[in-house]
Amino acid sequence: MTRRLALAALILLAPATGQAACTVSASGLAFGVYNATFTTPTDSTATVTLSCSAASGTGAYAIALGAGGGGSYAGRRMSSGSSILPYQLYLDAAHSQIWGDGSGGSSIVTGTDNIPQVGGTSTYQVYGRILARQAVSPGAYTDVIVVTVTY
């Protein structure tokens, strides 16, 4: 009886085939010095990289970005103490598709291209923008965005 239980436990602990082992990393997005007198937006870029170490078969994945401290995809905001500086993150260089979780008018990244490959990676550009002429107090403004990968 003991042998059967041990075998059953080993079967339950064995990984399923066809599952990818993936990690996500992101570079920091730094806007530099924001000047409220500029008449053009302040733009910056960062990257999100999905790396998969093992998989068999095919599978889809989705990459979502959190709303940050503003709590809304429509109104992301950095803060410095009690001061805020609105900004946005986009999927495209034209700054027309807000990168979020697919809700509230936001979009996500989806794909299947590298999940089946051992050692495969996909890198995606994040386009950040602060609109021009926002009256803000001097300070170091920051926000934290959670990157979520579903596969």
More confident residue, 44 or 149: 44
| CATH number for 143 | 2.60.40.1090
d(CA 99, CA 91): 5
Report which residue type is found at 144.
V
More confident residue, 43 or 13: 43
On whether residue 2 sits in a domain, the answer given is no
pLDDT of residue 88: 98
pLDDT of residue 33: 94
On whether residue 5 sits in a domain, the answer given is no
| Number of domains the chain is built from | 1
d(CA 150, CA 135): 38
On whether residue 7 sits in a domain, the answer given is no
Could you tell me the residue range of the domain that residue 52 belongs to? Answer: 17-150
Return mean pLDDT, the chain. 83
pLDDT of residue 111: 81
On whether residue 92 sits in a domain, the answer given is yes
Nearest to 150 by CA among 111, 117, 105: 111
Torsion sign over Cα 8, 150, 51, 20: positive
7, pLDDT greater than 80: no
19: confidence class by pLDDT, cuts 50, 70, 90: low
